Chain A
Amino acid sequence: ETGVTQTPRHLVMGMTNKKSLKCEQHLGHNAMYWYKQSAKKPLELMFVYNFKEQTENNSVPSRFSPECPNSSHLFLHLHTLQPEDSALYLCASSQDPVYGYTFGSGTRLTVV
């Protein structure tokens, strides 16, 4: 375990479903991130929270909605997704916005 825990590990959802991904870190970090990892593409930064405040929203479609209730927990709420949204969604945390990222193991999402 890296200290960043993501649940669930796998998720299959229909295009009309609503689901949430959860991330929890036990490292005392102040910043948390959502990344999307698709085959043959770079890791895509989706959202950044620093001290619970959203500081980055990388032109992500509104069908993805983040929530950061405290500095240890991060959620990604999903609704009316498209098949092209199928990917590995990675959560990371760090003490500084650039240095020492710790990643979780990811949630493998399949949209059918």
Chain B
Amino acid sequence: GENVEQHPSTLSVQEGDSAVIKCTYSDSASNYFPWYKQELGKGPQLIIDIRSNVGEKKDQRIAVTLNKTAKHFSLHITETQPEDSAVYFCAANFNTDKLIFGTGTRLQVFP
């Protein structure tokens, strides 16, 4: 079935440390994996995405890795800052017409 699992559900780190969030997906045909950040009182916002033809993508302090064989992908945030505190969602496409989202990870960065 269509399923995306996300772990952990909550994550607390000290400012400056790294944070890693992991997701697994069920459909081996999925080929697009975006990550969204949701701040309090706002809707989710796309922060980075990766397609199945690459294994890693970086954008400043954020990186995403993809392991197609194992059907999992991860978000890595380095040198975390208090403004990184938010809920992060992974997603994967199913067929060509929908995104299925994970359950979210609440990240807290303590100064």
With contact pairs A97-B96, A97-B98 given, residues A42 and B43 touching in the complex (Cβ less than 8 Å): no
* Total of A-B residue pairs, C-beta within 8 Å: 56
Q: Does A45 contact B (CB under 8 A)?
A: yes
Interface residue count for B (Cβ, 8 Å)?
A: 23
Main secondary structure of the interface of A (DSSP, over half): loop
The residue from B46, B89, B104 contacting A100, defined by CB atoms under 8 A apart: B46
Beyond A98-B98, A102-B46, A106-B42, 20 additional contacts (C-beta under 8 Å) are A2-B43, A40-B9, A42-B100, A42-B101, A43-B89, A45-B98, A45-B99, A48-B98, A55-B97, A56-B97, A98-B32, A98-B93, A99-B32, A100-B46, A101-B34, A101-B44, A101-B99, A103-B36, A103-B43, A103-B44
Pull 8 A–B residue pairs with CB atoms less than 8 Å apart, ordered by A.
Answer: A42-B100, A45-B98, A45-B99, A50-B97, A98-B32, A98-B93, A101-B36, A101-B44
